Amino acid sequence: MIKKRNGEIVAVNEKQNRILERLYNTLTGRIILKFLTAPPVSEIVGFYMDSPFSIPLIKPFVRNNNIDMSEYKEKFFISYNDFFTRKIKTESRPIDYINTHLISPCDSKLTAYKIRQNSIFKIKNSLYRISDMLKNEFLSRRYEGGYCLIYRLEVSDYHRYCYIDDGIKTGNTYIKGEFHTVNPIALKKYNVYKRNSREYTIMHTDNFGDVVQIEVGAMMVGKIHNHHGEYNFAKGEEKGMFMFGGSTVIQLFEKNRIRPDSDILRNTRDGFETIVHYGEKIGEAL
């Protein structure tokens, strides 16, 4: 279930959910899924989406997902991926530059969880530990007592993401995996946050401590594009983007560093994801 910041409940994509139910909950569907989630298949799909042959997919996608193209910079798209990674107008996603305000790095559906010793997080019936995502037990222990923020992007969301503060980052650590959709229906059968291809970095931020950010690929997403290795970054500066598909950004915060906004914590507790936008306030520094 999904809510807007004003408390309004939003209808979910029932057509997409029905397709995913068949894929994940039937024998035939799981055979098809095994084929679809193989990295070579993802690469082939990615090649097609980068080609001019994919252009006819754009208009139906915009229409079916009610995307307001007036929010985006005008250009002639040379492929579906060119459209998918379209840039939004600056005025459409204003950045909250108040130093102590924590901002969302992307357009997404957000949940926020407290990290406790040996926490196992249950997200739409999927169980996982922080150490499973990072494959680094020592680093994982640093974040006990802090917060785990999970930003789930759907295919209709803006798929670029920004830095949440000024600071300096480490290089990117890539973890190879399988590609599965991050739709909640998939989480009933597969622990996608453990299985999916992902990439993470440690961001030494000015106002929120050392933040781990993890980008997770989803089904049909073979590419996570982070623009920088070791780098001095600025709040609101673009960090990277996902190619075609739904994807996820996860952030880990140390103990006593942030306080997520009360509506986000309340919605998470009540089983709702909260719609947030690139650059908007979602919490504050302690």
Of the CA atoms within 13 Å of residue 223, those in its CB half-sphere come to: 19
According to the model, what pLDDT value does residue 13 have? Answer: 65
E strands, 52-137, in order: 101-103, 108-114, 121-123, 126-128
**Dist CA 213 CA 45 (whole Å):** 27
Q: How confident is the model at residue 28 (pLDDT cuts 50, 70, 90)?
A: confident
The residue with tokens 């049909």 is 220
State both tokens at 39.
């990295």
The whole-angstrom separation of Cα 138 and Cα 126 is 23
Which ranges in 135-284 belong to alpha helices (H)?
Answer: 137-141, 192-195, 262-269
Q: What percent of the chain has pLDDT over 90?
A: 62
Provide the whole-model pTM: 0.89
List, by residue number, the catalytic residues: 107, 247
Question: For residue 204, what is the DSSP state?
Answer: E
Query: How far is 74 from 79, CA to CA, in rounded Å?
Result: 15
Angle at alpha carbon of residue 67, lines to 102 and 82, rounded to 5°: 85
Confidence of residue 139 (pLDDT cuts 50, 70, 90): very high
- Looking at residue 179, its pLDDT comes to 58
User: Rounded mean pLDDT of 263-278?
Assistant: 96
